[in-house]
A and B are shown apart, each in its own frame.
Chain A
């Protein structure tokens, strides 16, 4: 590991100012769980790291607004969100997802902002937040803008954040009466990155008609991917076995999957079909879960 500069700005504004749009080797570090792996491996050699550890404490807050909107500061640890009673009550799907996300050591250190900005398609929060219609608040030197998590990713490790932007906060709209589920499949140890992660978010009409579905796939493509054709196949439908089977077939056709150490593309296609049906059933079973 080569020597590099280490900055500890006291505000997010200062942190943003320390970024260098011309130099990709200047990076912000939140929990560092992902970046440290890359640095240890020697693939990433920073010239400057900007620690966000000392920015304003309100960027670590987790709170629910009166209208049910969840706001998570980018520097909140995954554990803080996992242990939030408010989140458990209003967004049980987030709590459930966090409980099996990697392991407790990682969750105690990793931050929500980092988990979203890293852009590894194998992570759990991006597909879930994308399905829930969450937005990140990105603060740049010139402007503050909101980006849908579903639109955040450009490719493997690549986001649409500008080089002088940092995620300040994540805004998750209230679930209200909608149903959501995130199911994943790990093919090595249970705390491994998944072979496939699938988030579904359903607005349901009456007892069992899906009014609007949002389906987001992780870990099986080079970036978090919304399955729009599959959503269309479900919108307005009653999720009977044949409907789900057709939706699963659509999903398997709709995306080009990427094989990796967790499973071949052919295997992941089978997983996608199975998990689509299971995730929808799982979402419909509980009120929120």
Chain B
């Protein structure tokens, strides 16, 4: 029986449902100090003074640490994957409300919390800027100097700049859009906006750093242990082998726990205190830690009278918040797909990562693609309507098919855009109840695609023990997506054993080799390859061992016997290693052109049927059909839950989730007021995997974690217009916004708030 394509329950499911799985949040060690963070109350300002005296004198306080103190162990205490712009604790300036300014350490978390209230900081206020468009011309400068990190190969080109809020301006030029617009029969231009939202993993960030004898061990809820080790070693000026990063299971990640978030703080505090120190954030503090970019996207298309899109111009502004985090990569990697999965001769894309005084934005399930699809698929429907074309037929005429060049010039390969579209057309076609009276129904669909992050490296080790048992060592983190199970299946397939017998050891930089990170739906493809290579290496070594002990080629042997024959007893280990980095051609700086910009494409689409209550504006999603090209699924059951889970998350971002800011302060920083979908919000959901294969993938597989997020928002907006003839261009699509749009159209607008 093949292990690939097998619906195997997750290896860790029993440990999880019986409460035995380990989480960093639950970890305590003897002598450990708890921490509570004193945070900025101004959105933008120079730090004049921080008075910690009263807090230091408070009951149970071990120490109070400020940004200046951090310098004693980290001389240049700035971190970040794209720019070294984020101080471990604020230095000189604060850039958003909620920024960490000082920390109280105590053996008692409640005493630490009390002492924090005694800290007082004085700031010289500077004008803040919150809007991504304003920030591009604002006199308020969030960072006086930009400091590129130069860590990742794909971000090497970033240049340091002064006096601008634009962290990165990415551009792509293909053909001549202006000429094509002039020649086109029709030109359409629309603007779309998305709001700032949050990952809210149920397990908040937690890190425990333990100083050793010239070493440091960090237990953390991170999606990127290898990066954490590298970055902490850099900050400390230590070799990587003195820093260990250990990651148990995560209670959700969704991009919130990539790169360094609180690990630098925990590390510095542990070294300053000389004791184990735990930094564990509350749910409220997640809102000051990382979020998803708010965006403004203006899209303009030139179309021929028979419905061919011949030119497209995209201007995308990403509201990055106070620190760059991985935003520049979002602006670039995601930016180059801004024209959509369409075959367009003339394309111009400008994508700007902009600093503002909001909490930082980074990667969130989809890495910016959902914001883009929101715009281009809404735009696509608007054009189809204006030209009186069937929206499916219009798409059919324009989609990118295999072999055709994408906007970067990279030829499409194994991207089942056509199949996804056709499957959706089938699911959403036919007649249906359009409702009556004040309740109106409509249908809409949307498709999107995403490039994988490249070039990135994954390494794996497979140990074959002397009893024949197999252990896999990887730094891919299982955060609920089922990677341990999928990786075990890949190793088991090569080594011809049952996947449930494979032990997966994940998240330990002392045991497992480098991995770039569990992010961007890259693990199945990249780590999948590395695991496959490592298992093949082990298999080759087993065969060599068989030959060495004199077994004729092709013999069926018991592994245990093999070791016994070679070492005279149950002894020895075979270590198989694998490393994978896909080939990549960096895009040309001015035009964004590249012959090989991604190792694979993810393709997803959603069809929605909605019912709109025209008296209240309330939108009920009746049915949501999510179609995905995942290549060949390694574990179909887990893949399907990834698809429905991704769509559910995006449903919340579409209809109601919103980080509300007032004077820079997030005013709904709790689950009481930041509502994610509950059981009663989940519509009838169908998951469809199209028959596809990623030829370059391990056993034909590719990533899936983000695919179902692409089409949800525009499919719903398109369905709403189908139902009531009103177009919403800003997320979230709240009932009030729908009613206001209806009233505006009917000429009796709803008054302003009073």
Q: Do chains A and B touch in the complex (CB under 8 A)?
A: yes
Interface residues of A (CB under 8 A from B): 1-3, 37, 41, 100, 103, 185, 187-192, 259, 261, 263-267, 270-271, 274
* Chain A positions within 8 Å of B734 at CB level: 187-188
Q: Are A187 and B753 in contact (CB under 8 A)?
A: no
Does B434 interact with chain A (Cβ within 8 Å)? no
Q: Are A1 and B750 in contact (CB under 8 A)?
A: no
| Interface mask (B651-671 → A, CB under 8 Å = 1, otherwise 0) | 010001100100000011010
| Nearest CB in chain B to that of A262: its residue | B736
* Chain B positions within 8 Å of A190 at CB level: 678, 680-681
Q: Are B736 and A187 in contact (CB under 8 A)?
A: yes
Give Cα A2–Cα B117 distance, bound, in whole angstroms.
11
Q: Are B678 and A2 in contact (CB under 8 A)?
A: no
Give Cα A192–Cα B284 distance, bound, in whole angstroms.
18
Give Cα A1–Cα B657 distance, bound, in whole angstroms.
29
CB contact between A3 and one of B110, B735, B753 (< 8 Å): that residue: B110
| Interface mask (B614-641 → A, CB under 8 Å = 1, otherwise 0) | 0110100000000000000000000000
Does B558 interact with chain A (Cβ within 8 Å)? no
Given contacts A2-B114, A3-B110, A187-B656, contact A267 B736 (CB under 8 A): yes
Does B162 interact with chain A (Cβ within 8 Å)? no
Does B61 interact with chain A (Cβ within 8 Å)? no
* Chain B positions within 8 Å of A270 at CB level: 615-616, 739, 750
Does B407 interact with chain A (Cβ within 8 Å)? no
Beyond contacts A2-B114, A267-B750, A270-B615: 10 other A-B pairs, Cβ-Cβ < 8 A, are: A1-B110, A2-B110, A103-B679, A187-B736, A188-B656, A188-B657, A190-B678, A191-B675, A265-B754, A270-B750
Nearest Cβ distance between residue B44 and chain A, in whole angstroms? 25
Give Cα A261–Cα B735 distance, bound, in whole angstroms.
13
B interface secondary structure, majority: loop
> Which B657-707 residues sit within 8 Å CB-CB of chain A?
657, 660, 667-668, 670, 672-673, 675-681
Nearest Cβ distance between residue A188 and chain B, in whole angstroms? 4
* Chain A positions within 8 Å of B754 at CB level: 259, 265-266
* Chain A positions within 8 Å of B678 at CB level: 103, 189-191
Does B746 interact with chain A (Cβ within 8 Å)? no
Given contacts A259-B754, A266-B752, A267-B739, contact A191 B680 (CB under 8 A): yes
Does B751 interact with chain A (Cβ within 8 Å)? yes
Given contacts A2-B114, A192-B675, contact A264 B739 (CB under 8 A): no
Does B721 interact with chain A (Cβ within 8 Å)? no
Does B113 interact with chain A (Cβ within 8 Å)? yes
Contacts between chains A and B (CB distance < 8 A), count: 68
22 cross-chain CB contacts under 8 A: A2-B110, A41-B284, A41-B670, A103-B679, A185-B735, A187-B656, A187-B736, A188-B656, A189-B652, A189-B656, A189-B680, A190-B678, A191-B679, A259-B754, A261-B660, A264-B753, A265-B753, A266-B752, A267-B736, A270-B616, A271-B616, A274-B615
| Nearest CB in chain B to that of A263: its residue | B736
* Chain B positions within 8 Å of A263 at CB level: 735-736
Q: Are B736 and A264 in contact (CB under 8 A)?
A: yes
Nearest Cβ distance between residue B388 and chain A, in whole angstroms? 33
Give Cα A2–Cα B675 distance, bound, in whole angstroms.
28
CB contact between A189 and one of B110, B670, B681, B751 (< 8 Å): that residue: B681
Give Cα A1–Cα B112 distance, bound, in whole angstroms.
10
* Chain B positions within 8 Å of A37 at CB level: 670, 672
Nearest Cβ distance between residue A247 and chain B, in whole angstroms? 16
Which 4 pairs of residues, A with B, have the shortest CB-CB distance? A264-B753, A190-B680, A189-B675, A188-B675
| Nearest CB in chain B to that of A256: its residue | B754
* Chain A positions within 8 Å of B657 at CB level: 188
* Chain B positions within 8 Å of A264 at CB level: 736, 752-753
Give Cα A203–Cα B492 distance, bound, in whole angstroms.
71
Nearest Cβ distance between residue A241 and chain B, in whole angstroms? 13
Give Cα A41–Cα B284 distance, bound, in whole angstroms.
9
CB contact between B673 and one of A1, A2, A100, A261 (< 8 Å): that residue: A261
Give Cα A266–Cα B617 distance, bound, in whole angstroms.
13
Q: Are A185 and B753 in contact (CB under 8 A)?
A: no
Give Cα A2–Cα B673 distance, bound, in whole angstroms.
24
Give Cα A192–Cα B672 distance, bound, in whole angstroms.
8
Max chain B C-beta neighbours (<10 A), residue from A37, A187, A189, A270: A189
Give Cα A261–Cα B659 distance, bound, in whole angstroms.
11
* Chain B positions within 8 Å of A265 at CB level: 753-754
Max chain B C-beta neighbours (<10 A), residue from A1, A41, A190: A190
Nearest Cβ distance between residue B684 and chain A, in whole angstroms? 15
Q: Are A189 and B753 in contact (CB under 8 A)?
A: no
CB contact between B735 and one of A2, A187, A189, A266 (< 8 Å): that residue: A187
Nearest Cβ distance between residue A272 and chain B, in whole angstroms? 11
Give Cα A171–Cα B312 distance, bound, in whole angstroms.
67
* Chain B positions within 8 Å of A259 at CB level: 753-754
Give Cα A51–Cα B681 distance, bound, in whole angstroms.
34
* Chain B positions within 8 Å of A261 at CB level: 660, 667-668, 673
Max chain A C-beta neighbours (<10 A), residue from B284, B616, B680: B616
* Chain A positions within 8 Å of B681 at CB level: 189-190
* Chain A positions within 8 Å of B679 at CB level: 103, 191
Q: Are A189 and B752 in contact (CB under 8 A)?
A: no
Max chain B C-beta neighbours (<10 A), residue from A100, A187, A265: A187
* Chain A positions within 8 Å of B676 at CB level: 189
> Which B726-754 residues sit within 8 Å CB-CB of chain A?
734-736, 739-740, 750-754
Give Cα A41–Cα B285 distance, bound, in whole angstroms.
12
> Which B214-228 residues sit within 8 Å CB-CB of chain A?
none
Nearest Cβ distance between residue A162 and chain B, in whole angstroms? 28
Give Cα A266–Cα B743 distance, bound, in whole angstroms.
12
> Which B306-365 residues sit within 8 Å CB-CB of chain A?
none
Give Cα A185–Cα B739 distance, bound, in whole angstroms.
14
Give Cα A172–Cα B545 distance, bound, in whole angstroms.
83
* Chain B positions within 8 Å of A274 at CB level: 615-616
Nearest Cβ distance between residue A271 and chain B, in whole angstroms? 6
* Chain A positions within 8 Å of B670 at CB level: 37, 41
Q: Are B675 and A185 in contact (CB under 8 A)?
A: no
Give Cα A99–Cα B261 distance, bound, in whole angstroms.
40
| Nearest CB in chain B to that of A41: its residue | B670
Give Cα A257–Cα B656 distance, bound, in whole angstroms.
22
* Chain A positions within 8 Å of B672 at CB level: 37
Give Cα A14–Cα B677 distance, bound, in whole angstroms.
42
* Chain B positions within 8 Å of A2 at CB level: 110, 114
Give Cα A187–Cα B732 distance, bound, in whole angstroms.
11
Nearest Cβ distance between residue B745 and chain A, in whole angstroms? 15
Give Cα A271–Cα B616 distance, bound, in whole angstroms.
6
Nearest Cβ distance between residue B97 and chain A, in whole angstroms? 16
* Chain A positions within 8 Å of B753 at CB level: 259, 264-266
| Nearest CB in chain A to that of B673: its residue | A261
* Chain A positions within 8 Å of B735 at CB level: 185, 187, 263
| Interface mask (B587-618 → A, CB under 8 Å = 1, otherwise 0) | 00000000000000000000000000001101
* Chain A positions within 8 Å of B736 at CB level: 187, 263-264, 267
Nearest Cβ distance between residue A204 and chain B, in whole angstroms? 25
| Nearest CB in chain B to that of A104: its residue | B679
